[in-house]
């Protein structure tokens, strides 16, 4: 059966769907702009609480890791870190928010990981975390209203309660979740720290700019 002109025209793609050369579909301005809009959003009231943050305190076990402790046959402690969390810590530094790690443990893998991320404000083997946080604030010329913290267990509560904004991973202890203004959807060691970082970046007004800066230039 010979196709008619009408059926042949119906089979053609809509006008503008093909680029002038190469046969590639052309993006309309509306689609291009939509692709550059951040998909992430938080409640306005939550962002208001997290505004003005200049320093962020992080626990390690249960926040930057899943809380599990792995021991080698030599007795060395091994930890599992998530790349999402690591990039979030780097983004905080680019935004002018200083990440500070206060942990009750110490190990070579931990030191190597934090060094690779460029984090210089670290307190190892610190069970009493509040004095360490206060010393860091004094050294940075900052105060508690400019601080945020994320923790998962009781040793983190003193720092969290002193900060203007406190966060807890989804699998944190119930008392810690109760003390937090925000509980992440992600679990510790599985993106919880990144979620915390993203929230601070959105609250600071720098998230969209950082995201746009990572897109390839046309």
Confirm whether 24 is domain-assigned. no
**Number of domains comprising the chain:** 1
pLDDT > 90 fraction of the chain, expressed in percent and rounded: 66
Residue 78 has what pLDDT? Answer: 62
Question: Domain containing 62: what range?
Answer: 44-207
Least confident of 28-32, 98-102, 111-115, 168-172: 28-32
User: Which tokens sit at 120?
Assistant: 């210089």
Confirm whether 7 is domain-assigned. no
Q: What is the pTM of this model?
A: 0.79
**Which are the contacts of 208, defined by CB distance < 8 A and separation ≥ 6?**
38
Confirm whether 32 is domain-assigned. no
Confirm whether 31 is domain-assigned. no
Confirm whether 10 is domain-assigned. no
Q: What is the pLDDT of residues 193-210, one digit of tens each?
A: 999 999 999 999 999 999
Contact status, residue 119 vs residue 86, Cβ threshold 8 Å: no
Domain harbouring 70, CATH code: 3.40.50.1000
Confirm whether 28 is domain-assigned. no
Confirm whether 3 is domain-assigned. no
15: helix, strand or coil? coil
């Amino acid at each position: 059966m010979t196709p008619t002109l009408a059926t042949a025209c119906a089979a053609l793609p809509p006008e503008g769907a093909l680029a002038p050369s190469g046969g590639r579909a052309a993006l309309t301005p509306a689609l291009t702009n939509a692709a550059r809009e951040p998909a992430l959003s938080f409640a306005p009231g939550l962002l208001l609480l997290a505004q003005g943050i200049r320093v962020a305190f992080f626990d390690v076990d249960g926040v930057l890791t899943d809380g599990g402790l792995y021991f080698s046959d030599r007795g060395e402690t091994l930890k599992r870190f998530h790349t999402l969390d690591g990039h979030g810590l780097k983004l905080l530094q680019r935004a002018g928010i200083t990440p500070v790690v206060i942990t009750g443990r110490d190990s070579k893998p931990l030191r190597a990981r934090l060094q690779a991320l460029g984090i210089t404000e670290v307190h190892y083997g610190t069970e009493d975390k509040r004095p360490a946080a206060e010393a860091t604030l004094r050294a940075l010329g900052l105060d508690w209203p400019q601080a945020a913290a994320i923790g998962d267990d009781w040793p983190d509560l003193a720092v969290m309660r002193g900060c203007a904004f406190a966060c807890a991973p989804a699998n944190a202890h119930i008392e810690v979740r109760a003390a937090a203004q925000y509980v992440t959807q992600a679990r510790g060691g599985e993106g919880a720290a990144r979620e915390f970082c993203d929230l601070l970046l959105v609250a600071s007004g720098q998230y969209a700019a950082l995201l746009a800066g990572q897109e390839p230039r046309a």
